[in-house]
């Protein structure tokens, strides 16, 4: 038996080291990114309507455990729930019509158990809810149920800040409305269901909130890097009419104006809500022209609602009617990204829909602490924006590989960045503007390379219609060191960039062998590669540094030496030599002693210096020969 440790040739030895350093470097980068994330970046989740269908046996959605597990896997610091945690009183009839089939306390217990959000609770992730109509009285034309309200408080009321308005015994909102400062954000939770009015507006008998308290929170305590206001019901209707404020009535319109203006005048850029069971994101201006998002995330598990008519004053930017899930907000001091994580109940798979991101901005030279990024989108497939797509100065818009975004007009302010993912000449992000597109010359374009791109490939990043609003000669770069990128040289209706392979693989190589491999791969790419070769080219073009490309090329360089044959010869020669040496030692032993197990070690090493195309090799052999001796017969003359 022989154990052999072989460094097979210096070329292979170096390739092995290249692999080793490549992976170690990659892991180190992940570690450093992880540290940076923990110190400067954190996340939270928003969703709503996690209740079950009305024929429920539990009061909570059967999809909630899967949603909870996915949330835990992403490691957010907090979860914000915009109401309808349970079915409440909306359950099938029972023998006693005044008694729900499932007690309220049991439904809330199910919400916290393995039937609901147990994995989130077990992970130590804080949950901050507000009430929905199902924690009040069911449908919005029914008066509140005191025992249901109390069951909500007993279950989750103490988990939120105890700083809501207390206007006396009948209007004590402590545990229901709240104001939370968390890291560099502030979230103000508003309860929609304290003021029942027999006179209905729209489809609701609840259309008042404690506006005076909200104003106080916004003007005295709200300023933070990002400020959100959260309640259960949309302000701008999404299902033919709105419950909150009954926005089709004159009184409702006036109340809505007061509420929306209070957000805009205090720098709030996003209102969080649910109530409608899908995802619909849109913008509406306040009376002073401030743009505010209504981010309706109601796909937490309740039966999904189909598309319906929405308020014409709401400029829709994103909708999803087919998936359950939540939104993950990732925050730094410089920017925020919102990823919509979508769960397909048929395939039981997760995907990401839109992503909104942007950077901080300044208003009149002063940093806006509540600035909610103005709009960046990534995702696959066709996306339609009703109205204009506008980017404030300093923002970033990233259009994912394969995403096709259509808007009425496009306006990109100065010092902004367009990032376009491209996995080839066919699969790349594109914006189509039905009207004129305006992009000033102080903006820049980044080609985010995700696959092999032939030289001189052109990409119509923005397809505008009418005018010459796209400035010529925009600064253009690529994430891959292989390419130089240029934009259309003169003003145009479109933004077209050209990618040139000005630094092919062989020019980036650090030795003659890897240069030869690089030249071969470049030639195969020009001829039209497919299969495994195309996968290699995709990986090389996706590298973001010269060092990464060299690591890959070196790992593909064949061994040009006789290291393997020399080592094999050395092992066999040493092993047989040990046997011969042992047999020689037995010549003078008595037969009675030739009955034993023996072992003898051996070893050698070989070296060959680099020469010509051979990089040489180092080989170390260590082994042990083991045998058993037994005398079978004695022969003598």
Higher pLDDT, 245 or 277: 277
Three-state SS at 580: helix
195, pLDDT greater than 90: no
- Given this model, what pLDDT does residue 559 score? 58
At residue 569, φ and ψ (nearest 5 deg) are -65, -40
The residue whose two tokens read 């305590």 is 221
Q: Which of 30-39, 217-226, 258-267, 414-423 has the lowest mean pLDDT?
A: 30-39
Here the tokens at position 611 are 């020469």
User: Residues 318-339: pLDDT tens digits?
Assistant: 888 999 999 999 988 777 888 8
Q: Which of helix, strand or coil describes residue 170?
A: helix
pLDDT surpasses 50 at 22: no
628 strand-pairing partners: 597
Query: In the structure, what pLDDT confidence band is assigned to residue 630 with cuts at 50, 70 and 90?
Result: confident
Q: In whole angstroms, how large is the CA radius of gyration of the chain?
A: 34
Query: What is the pLDDT averaged over residues 356-385?
Result: 42
Contacts (Cβ under 8 Å, ≥6 apart) of 390: 374, 375, 410, 411, 412, 413
Local structure of 482: helix, strand or coil: coil
b/e map of 507-520 (b: 16 or more CB within 10 Å)? ebbeeebbbebbee
The pLDDT of residue 351? 87
- Structure-model confidence comparison of residues 510 and 594, the more confident one: 510
Decide if pLDDT at 60 tops 90. Answer: yes
Q: What is the mean pLDDT of residues 609-637?
A: 72
Question: How many other CB atoms sit within 10 Å of the CB of residue 467?
Answer: 14
Res 30 pLDDT > 70: no
Distance, CA of 212 to CA of 189 (rounded, Å): 14
Q: What is the mean pLDDT of the segment spanning 299-318?
A: 86
Its pTM stands at 0.57
Interacting residues of 109 by C-beta distance below 8 A, sequence separation 6+: 155
The structural domains of the chain, ordered by start, are: 41-373 (3.60.21.10), 504-556 (no CATH), 562-630 (no CATH)
CA distances, 167 to each of 143, 152, 172, 212 (Å): 20, 19, 6, 11
Dist CA 90 CA 106 (whole Å): 14
Structure confidence by residue, pLDDT tens digits, 379-411: 444 555 545 677 767 777 778 787 777 777 888
- Give the pair of three-digit tokens for residue 589: 């032993």
pLDDT at 180: 94
Mean pLDDT value of segment 582-597: 71
pLDDT: which is higher, 21 or 468: 468
pLDDT category of residue 123 using cuts at 50, 70 and 90: very high
């Amino acid at each position: 038996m022989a154990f052999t440790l072989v460094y097979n040739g210096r070329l292979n030895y170096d390739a092995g080291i290249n692999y080793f350093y490549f992976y170690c470097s990659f892991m180190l980068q992940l570690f450093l990114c992880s540290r940076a994330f923990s110190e400067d970046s954190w996340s939270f989740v928003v969703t709503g309507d996690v209740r079950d269908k009305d024929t429920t046996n539990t009061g909570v959605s059967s999809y909630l455990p899967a949603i909870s597990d996915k949330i835990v896997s992403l490691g957010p610091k907090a979860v914000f729930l915009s109401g309808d945690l349970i079915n409440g009183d909306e359950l099938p009839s029972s023998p006693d019509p005044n008694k729900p089939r499932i007690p309220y306390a049991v439904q809330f217990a199910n919400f916290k158990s393995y039937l609901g959000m147990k994995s989130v609770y077990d992970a130590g992730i804080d949950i901050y809810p507000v009430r929905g109509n199902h924690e009040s009285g069911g449908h919005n034309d029914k008066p509140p149920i005191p025992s249901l309200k109390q069951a909500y408080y007993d279950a989750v009321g103490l988990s939120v800040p105890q700083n809501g308005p207390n206007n006396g015994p009948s209007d004590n909102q402590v545990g229901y409305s709240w104001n939370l400062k968390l890291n560099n954000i502030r979230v103000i939770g508003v309860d929609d269901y304290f003021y029942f009015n027999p006179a209905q507006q729209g489809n609701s008998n609840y259309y008042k909130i404690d506006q005076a308290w909200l104003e106080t929170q916004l003007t005295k305590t709200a300023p933070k890097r990002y400020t959100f206001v959260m309640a259960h019901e949309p302000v701008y209707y999404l299902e033919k009419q709105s419950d909150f404020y009954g926005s089709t009535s004159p009184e409702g319109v006036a109340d809505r104006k007061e509420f929306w203006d209070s957000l805009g005048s205090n720098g709030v850029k996003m209102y969080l809500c649910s109530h409608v069971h899908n995802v619909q994101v849109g913008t509406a201006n306040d009376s002073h022209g401030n743009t505010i998002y209504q981010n309706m995330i109601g796909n937490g598990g309740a039966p999904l609602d189909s598309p319906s008519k929405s308020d014409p004053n709401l400029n829709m930017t994103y909708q999803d009617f087919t998936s359950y899930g939540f939104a993950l907000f990732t925050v730094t001091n410089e920017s925020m990204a919102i990823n919509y994580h979508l769960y397909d109940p048929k395939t039981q798979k997760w995907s990401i829909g839109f992503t909104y991101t942007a950077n901080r901005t300044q208003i009149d030279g002063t940093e806006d602490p509540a600035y909610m990024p103005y709009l960046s989108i990534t995702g696959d497939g066709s996306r339609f924006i009703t109205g204009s797509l506008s980017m404030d100065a300093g923002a970033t818009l990233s259009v994912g590989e394969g995403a096709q975004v259509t808007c009425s007009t496009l306006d990109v302010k100065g010092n902004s960045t367009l990032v376009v993912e491209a996995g080839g000449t066919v699969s790349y992000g594109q914006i189509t503007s039905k009207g004129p597109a305006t992009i000033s010359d102080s903006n820049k374009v980044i080609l985010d390379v995700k696959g092999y791109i032939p030289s001189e490939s052109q990409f119509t990043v923005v397809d505008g219609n009418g005018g010459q609003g796209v400035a010529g000669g925009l600064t253009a770069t690529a994430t891959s060191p292989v390419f130089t990128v240029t934009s259309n040289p003169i003003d145009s209706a479109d933004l077209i960039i050209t990618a040139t392979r000005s630094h092919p693989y062989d020019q980036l190589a650090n030795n003659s062998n890897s240069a030869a491999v690089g030249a071969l791969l470049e030639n195969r790419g020009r001829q039209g590669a497919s299969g495994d070769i195309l996968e290699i080219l995709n990986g090389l073009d996706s590298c973001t540094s010269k060092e990464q490309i060299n690591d890959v090329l070196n790992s593909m360089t064949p061994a040009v030496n006789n290291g393997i044959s020399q080592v094999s010869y050395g092992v066999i020669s040493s092993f047989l030599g040990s046997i011969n040496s042992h047999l020689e030692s037995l010549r003078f032993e008595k037969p009675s002693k030739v009955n034993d197990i023996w072992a003898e070690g051996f070893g050698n090493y070989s070296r060959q210096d680099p020469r010509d195309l051979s990089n040489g090799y180092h080989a170390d052999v260590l082994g042990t020969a083991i045998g058993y001796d037994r005398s079978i017969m004695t022969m003598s003359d």
